[in-house]
Amino acid sequence: MSAMSVSTRLSPPRPHHLALRGAMMLGVLGIATAAATARAEPSPTLDRVSISVGAFSADPRINIGADTQFGRIDAPESKPSHTTIPRIKADLLIGDRHGLAFDYYRYDKSYTPSLTGETIINGQPVTGTATANADLKLDLAKLAYKWWLGSGNDTFGIGLGAAYYHAGLNGTATGIVNGETATARDSIGEHAFAPLLEVGWRHAFTPDLRMYAEASGIKKNGGRINGHIYGGNIGVEWFPFKNIGFVADYGISKIKLHRDSERDADLNIRLTGPSAYVKVRF
């Protein structure tokens, strides 16, 4: 019986096999890269998650011009005493170079300007000077998506996002009408969303002692309420404990808003002063 020899031929790998192997290699490489990225630590200037709660001790300067149902308010610039404004901030780092930043504060204080021009109360002209006793409110919330550039102990951030603001003036006017004291009540309130631009710099002397400088701009054109809000601050962070620290900074905010409607209104506020926070990081 003769043995049959069977010749064996090695065929070259098919194209789809090569593609599959290439995809597997790329997948393994991608997983390895992701794992390395996950293990990488961010710059010591940044925290994965942080929440700051504190207050802004502001020295306000206020100027308001508004058409109300009892006439025009054109008050000269007033300088109320220092006021404390609650403020909260939060930051979330996504990866090592991206993140979200949130900032909110509310100004809610009494405002007592003198009324100039033709003041009308209950349909009758006021004799002499009229005064207003009002409550001025301003809410400002900002949310930005940030890109962090640089590494090591210095990072630079650029943020784009949106801001929401609400301004309101609610109060009463008092004056002499036909020889008697008369009062009238009115309220003005508007809110809007506007684009936001932020820039910042952070430096770490050590992981527990850092400083920063920030600036932001909000501008809205058109609509019932428009204008701009600019702000900036410089501060220091100190962490005597691993996850709990203290923040102190000095800042300024300039707010200029205009309501374009049947009853126009202009609001100009300048807030300057120090802030202090308790900061928790994770």
pLDDT in tens, 45-76: 999 999 999 999 999 998 877 777 666 666 66
CB-based burial label for 245 (10 Å; 0-12, 13-18, 19+)? buried
| Residue 98 DSSP label | E
pLDDT of residue 225: 85
pLDDT of residue 199: 98
- 82 in a domain, yes or no? yes
Task: State how far the Cα of 235 lies from the Cα of 251, in Å rounded to an integer.
Answer: 9
Please name which of 7, 44, 27 lies closest in space to residue 155, comparing C-alpha atoms. Answer: 44
Query: By residue range, what is the domain housing residue 217?
Result: 43-281
Given a cut of 90, is residue 122 above it in pLDDT?
A: no
**Dist. CA 202–CA 280, nearest whole Å:** 17
Positive or negative torsion for Cα 24, 29, 30, 35: positive
Residue 2 inside a domain? The answer is: no
Residues 26, 78: one domain? no
Residue 6, domain member (yes or no): no
Integer-rounded Cα radius of gyration of the chain = 30
**Same domain flag for 63 and 36:** no
**pLDDT for res 177:** 73
Tell me the three-class secondary structure of 150-163, residue by residue.
CCCCEEEEEEEEEE
Contact 50, 10 (CB under 8 A): no
- Are 24 and 58 within one domain? no
Domain boundary among 42, 63, 79: 42
Is residue 197 assigned to a domain?
A: yes
Q: Name residue, tokens 């993140």.
A: 99
Q: Look at residue 3 and tell me whether its pLDDT is greater than 50.
A: no
Count other Cβ atoms within 10 Å, centred on residue 145.
16
Residues 59 and 33 in one domain: no
Rama region for 27: left / alpha / beta (φ>0; ψ in -120 to 50; rest): alpha
Overall domain count for the chain: 2
> Looking at per-residue confidence, does 26 or 235 come out higher?
235
Q: What is the CATH number of the domain that holds 73?
A: 2.40.128.90
Q: What is the pLDDT of residue 120?
A: 65
> What's residue 106's pLDDT?
95
Are 51 and 149 members of one domain?
A: yes
Contact 58, 272 (CB under 8 A): yes
Same domain, residue pair 131 and 261 = yes
Whether 3 is covered by a domain: the verdict is: no
pLDDT over threshold 70, residue 11: no
Residue 5 inside a domain? The answer is no
Structure tokens at 115: 């009324």
Residue 24 clears pLDDT 70, i.e. is over it: no
What pLDDT is stored for residue 117 in this prediction?
Answer: 56
Domain identity same for 229 and 122:
yes
Q: 57 with 181, same domain?
A: yes
Residue 7 lies in a domain: no
Q: Are residues 147 and 36 in the same domain?
A: no
Same domain, 185 and 55: yes
